[in-house]
Structure 1
Amino acid sequence: GKLAGAIAYGAEVFQISGSFDEALKIVMSISERHPIALVNSINPYRLEGQKTAAFEICNTLETAPDWLAIPVGNAGNITAYWMGFRQYSEKKGTGLPKLLGVQAQGAAPLVLGHPIENPETIATAIRIGKPARGEEAVLAAQESKGKIIAVNDELIIESQKLLAKNGLWVEPASAAGLAGLIQEVKSNKSEFANKKVVIVCTGHGLKDPDIITRDFASPRIFPADIRVLENLIIQNE
């Protein structure tokens, strides 16, 4: 899904045999030695844009939420949101949320406290072993009196399905925020009781549809006969 979008806009794609972290290390080195812009989370302009989502949340709620749950991969988003909430509160007095950063269990370097050489998770967008903004993310969670936690892939998929049932189809990584909130509420319900919570869903389901299509059975083929189809539909009601 992500690759198709880049190609549609005319990008020339080079595929690297290795992990996200290996690829990032290479392109960072290239961008440092040549007049090439790196638009990854390491780019400060990207964070300046992302932080405005925090402004939008405060505008909509007329205050900061009590909690903000957000997926954490390369850690640019959580860093940017915290920057945005702090700046907006300085100007508007909207207050600050506690941050709940959520990593996948097989790719949770910030939870474990050290890089992971071979991260594994079905949530591809957060399958990162050495986040570029890791230090800033940990500091943001600490300053907000929040936390960064890990959830397993099963809960991520359950959360993806729950969101879809409510009209919001997101990629697996984007469901991590809800998965983290569900896990935390189960273990510490009083912490979130009567609180205003915002969950950030970062990417549409079309960006990573493989999990859906992988388990999808091929459709059965029927004749173009209204009686046959009508009977099938009625039987399945």
Structure 2
Amino acid sequence: MKLDNLYIKDDTRNPTLSFKDRASAVGIAKAKELKKDVIVASSTGNAASSISGFAASAGIKNYIFVPKTAPEAKVTQLLVFGSTVFLVDGTYDEAFELCFKAAERFGWYNRSCAINPYLVEGKKTVAFEILEQLNFKVPDYVVMAVGDGCSISGAYKGFVEFYKLGLVDKIPKMIGVQSEKSNPVTRAFNKNTYEFDYIPPTTIADSISVGIPRNGIKALKAVAESGGFMIDVSDEEIIESIRILASNSGIFGEPAGVTGFAGVRKLKKLGLLKKEDIVVTVVTGSGLKDLKTAQ
């Protein structure tokens, strides 16, 4: 069975090649409005390179905290943009805590999605664009990779707003996809709880390699309220999806970037999608950011 209505939303074409540019544009605008001299971020890579590029364009000093295991290409972006980079000898969760404490102590403006309330206003624009590009025909399913949970909850907010404005007649079911080697949101969803138990993440999809999801509750609400669900894919399925997506669409995604697409493939294999369903998945980051995995 083939899917007649599968759409790929390609966010690798944003200024620093990732979905995170939507949030960073708003974050930098607010930093300028609030007359902040320094902006900081913790990230597995994409949010960091995004805020780094936007800060460079606005002339704002920035400090970036990333785990030392972050892909070389992402760290290179940071250095080229002129950021001060702290390679943290630990996980993303530890980098997040260090960034948060430093921002609090020195009064820096914190770009981190789960802390900064404005960034969701940037992320929700993906929903606006999806609806506009489909001539306001609402997809049956929107399938997105989940790490901290900021992106899927941001997209859901956009769909809800258009629904409340009367511009569309329904909200798509939000399907969250995690690597089975980093799946705290899936585990919580399956247990019907808003509490997250910590298991060290080991997935090759660094952008969604999260032990404690900082916006996990919002992600769970987005999935549940829309009538959707969570699903896991293996790292092998993610790697295979890089090649399949690129060779069939010309879109080269990084591991986390194609995790949503890997989820669509799994949903299809499990018979959870009908041939006529309108399905949208978002490719959230360029494969050029992690060439080693693709190789």
Which category of TM-score, normalised to the shorter sequence, fits these structures?
A: 0.7 to 0.9
1:101 aligned partner:
176
CA deviation profile, 1:162-194 (whole Å, cap 9, x unmatched)? 1110201010111110111111111124x4331
Q: Runs of 4+ in structure 1 displaced over 4 angstroms? A: none
1:1-237 superposed matches below 5 A: 1-42=73-114, 43-61=116-134, 62-94=136-168, 95-113=170-188, 114-166=196-248, 167-189=250-272, 191-213=273-295
* Identical columns (%): 36
Cα separation, partners in 2 of 1:143 and 1:13, compared to 1, 3 Å: same
TM-score, L = length of structure 1 = 0.85
**Which structure dedicates a bigger proportion of its chain to helix?**
1
Q: Which one is further off, 125-134 or 59-68?
A: 59-68
Report the structure number with the largest CA radius of gyration: 1
2: CA distance, partners of 1:33 / 1:145: 41
Aligned-residue CA RMSD in angstroms? 1.3
Q: What is the count of residue pairs matched by the alignment?
A: 212
Is contact 1:41–1:75 with CA below 8 Å preserved after alignment?
Answer: no
Where 1:24 maps in the other structure, the secondary structure is helix
- Structure 1 residue 118, shift from structure 2 partner: 1.2
Where 2:100 maps in the other structure, the secondary structure is helix
What is the one-letter code of the residue matched to 1:51?
Answer: K
TM-score, L = length of structure 2 = 0.69
Consecutive unaligned residues of structure 2, counting only runs of 5 or more, are 1-72, 189-195
CA deviation profile, 1:192-220 (whole Å, cap 9, x unmatched)? 3311110101000111222124xxxxxxx
- Structure 1 residue 78, shift from structure 2 partner: 0.4
- Structure 1 residue 145, shift from structure 2 partner: 0.3
Consecutive unaligned residues of structure 1, counting only runs of 5 or more, are 214-237
**Which structure dedicates a bigger proportion of its chain to strand?**
2
What is the one-letter code of the residue matched to 2:216?
Answer: G
